[in-house]
Amino acid sequence: MRKKDMIGMLLAGGQGSRLGVLTTNKAKPAVFFGGQYRIIDFPMSNCINSGVDTIGVLTQYQPLSLNKHIGIGIPWDMDRKNGGVTILSPHVKGESGDWYSGTANAIFQNIQFIDEFSPDYVLILGTDHIYKMDYSEMLRFHQENNCDATIAVLEVPLEEASRMGIMNTYENGKVYEFEEKPKNPKSNLASMGIYIFTWSKLKEALIKDNKIHPDSDFGKHIIPMMLGNNDTMFAFRFKDYWRDVGTIEAYWETNMELIKTLPAFNLYEDFWKIYTDAAHQPPSYTGPESDVKLSITSCGCEIYGKVYNSVLGPEVTIEDGAVVTDSIIMEKCSIGRGSRLNRVIVDSNTKIGENVIIGEGENIPNELKPDVYFTGITVIAENSVVPDNVRIGLNCVISGITDNSMYENGELKSGGSVCQEEVVL
C-alpha cells in the first residue's frame, strides 16, 4: 500500500439507545438527518474535504443500513485504488472472536489495517455529531506543537461541564489532566471525541493498555495513560457549530435549526459540501393547493398538502389536505389525505393513513420508556403503517404494521405505545 500521512478511523458501532425506535434496526450513524443525510455523512464529508481519503469505518451494532449506505464510498469520492473507505467489522481471530469492547479496543483490533498504510498520524472520530471541521488544520496544530496526541475541545457552559469529559490545560493549550464527568469542573473545555494521535505512540499505548483493560477506552484508559507517561497532549479549540444528536429532543432540535431563515449551520456553501448516497435524485413537486413554509425538503418529494416548520426526507408524499407541522418525515414516507401531524418523527418507509391525527393531547411521558420519550414528540418507527382515522397523542411510539384493532376506540393516548412483539423501544 502507498503510504498515507494520516488516515481516519470512524467509530460507528454505537447503538444510540436514547434515540429509541430510530435505532432499532440501524446504528446511530445511519440515522437520517436534515432530510437527505445520514449522521455519518458529516464526519465522512469532513474527512474527504480535509484531504483524508483513507478511512476505516468500525461497525458493530446493526450495520446493514450503514454498510449499504457507505458501499464502496462513491458519494464521498472514496472509491479509490489507493486507500478509500474500508468497513471494519469485528471478526473471528484464531479460535475465538471478539466484539469491540471499547473505543480503544476497536482500534487495537485493527492495528494491522492501519499499519498497511504506514501512516504518521491517525485521526479517531466518533460518528454521532453534526458539524463541519477541517481536520487538516487540527493536524497542522498537532505537528506545530510536536504533539503525541491532540484532542479537539469545545467550550461549554460550566454547568454542562459536569456531564462531559473535561480537559484541564495550561494557558498554551497543553493538557495536564483529563476528568470524565467531574463534579467540580476546573475548566469548560469538553472533549469532542475527535483525536489525532501520532501513530507510533498510539500503537504502543494500545498494545500496553490491552493487557490491562480488556475494554480499553480512549477517555477512560488511553488518554490518562498517555498523560501519565508525560506524552505531549494538546487541546485544539473548535469554535464553530457542533451538535450532539444523541437524544430524541436534541435530534429534533438540531433538525429544526436547519429550517430557520438564517440557519446557524449552513448546508448551502459550495466549498464544504456534505455528501450523501443519493444516486437517484428526482425533482420535488408541490401541487396547486399546497403550502410549504419554513421547511426543507429533499429530492423527489410530492407535496399536495401543507407543510410548516418541518424537515422532509427524499421522496416523501404529503397528500391533499394533510397538515404537517414541526415534524421530521424521513425517506419514502407518505402522509394520507386530511391527516394532521404535530411534533412527530416518522422514520423511513412509513405509511400514515387518511385523517390520522398525531401529536395532540396531554404531555404525559411514555409509559414504557419515560426517560427516552418525554418531550412531547411522538416517534413512528421505519416500515410502519398507521391506519386511517386514528388519533395518537404525545410521547407515543408506534412500530410495525398496525391496524385499527390495535387502537382502543381509534385512539392511542399520550404516552402509549403500539408495537409488534420483541421490538426494542
The footprint of another protein (CB under 8 A) covers 34-36, 74-75, 258-259, 261, 267-268, 273-276, 278-300, 302, 307, 311-312, 315
Residue 411 has a CB neighbour count (10 Å cut-off) of 13
Do the beta carbons of residue 116 and residue 56 sit within 8 Å? no
Distance CA 10, CA 5 (A): 17
Least Å distance between CB 287 and another protein? 6
N- to C-terminal Cα distance for the chain?
A: 44
CA distance 249 to 257: 12
C-alpha cell at 213: 483493560
Do residues 375 and 247 make contact, with C-beta atoms less than 8 angstroms apart?
no
Residue 217: DSSP 8-state: -
Residues 86/115, Cβ–Cβ less than 8 Å: no
CB atoms within 10 A of CB 81: 6
Q: How far is the CB of 354 from another protein (least distance, A)?
A: 18
Nearer to another protein, 299 or 406 (CB): 299
Nearest distance, CB of residue 30 and another protein, angstroms: 18
Which residue, 213 or 332, has its beta carbon nearer to another protein?
Answer: 332
**Min separation Cβ 237 and another protein, Å:** 27
To which H or E segment does residue 166 belong?
A: strand 165-169
| Of 24 and 298, CB closest to another protein | 298
Identify which of 123, 44, 46, 115 has the alpha carbon closest to the alpha carbon of residue 85. 44
Q: Any residues with CB less than 8 A from the CB of 228 and at least 6 apart, and which?
A: none
DSSP 258: T
Residue 47: CB atoms within 10 Å: 24
Give 212 or 262: the residue with its C-beta nearer to another protein: 262
Q: How far is Cα 395 from Cα 20, in angstroms, rounded to an integer?
A: 11
Least Cβ distance, residue 92 to another protein (angstroms)? 33
Minimum distance between the CB of residue 206 and another protein, rounded to whole angstroms? 36
Strand partners, 97: 92
Tell me whether residue 11 or residue 312 sits nearer to another protein (CB atom). Answer: 312
Decide the pairing of beta strands 129-131 and 175-180: unpaired
Amino acid sitting at position 313: G
- The upper half-sphere exposure of residue 6, i.e. CA atoms within 13 Å in the direction of its Cβ, equals 23
* Residue closer to another protein (CB basis): 34 or 56: 34
The three-state secondary structure class of 103 is helix
Give min distance, CB of 299 to another protein, in A: 5
Give me the least distance between CB of 291 and another protein, in Å please: 7
- The Cα 151–Cα 146 span in angstroms is 13
- Least separation in angstroms between CB 37 and another protein: 9
Q: Are 248 and 372 in contact (CB under 8 A)?
A: yes
Of 300 and 387, nearer to another protein (C-beta) is 300
| Least distance to another protein, CB of residue 286, Å | 5
Looking at the Cβ atoms of 105 and 350, the one nearer to another protein is 350
Cβ proximity to another protein: between 162 and 281 the closer is 281
CB closer to another protein out of 163 and 293: 293
Q: Whose Cβ is closer to another protein: residue 229's or residue 266's? A: 266
Output DSSP code: residue 275: P
The CB-of-310 to another protein minimum distance in angstroms stands at: 10
Distance between CA atoms of residues 109 and 88, nearest Å? 10
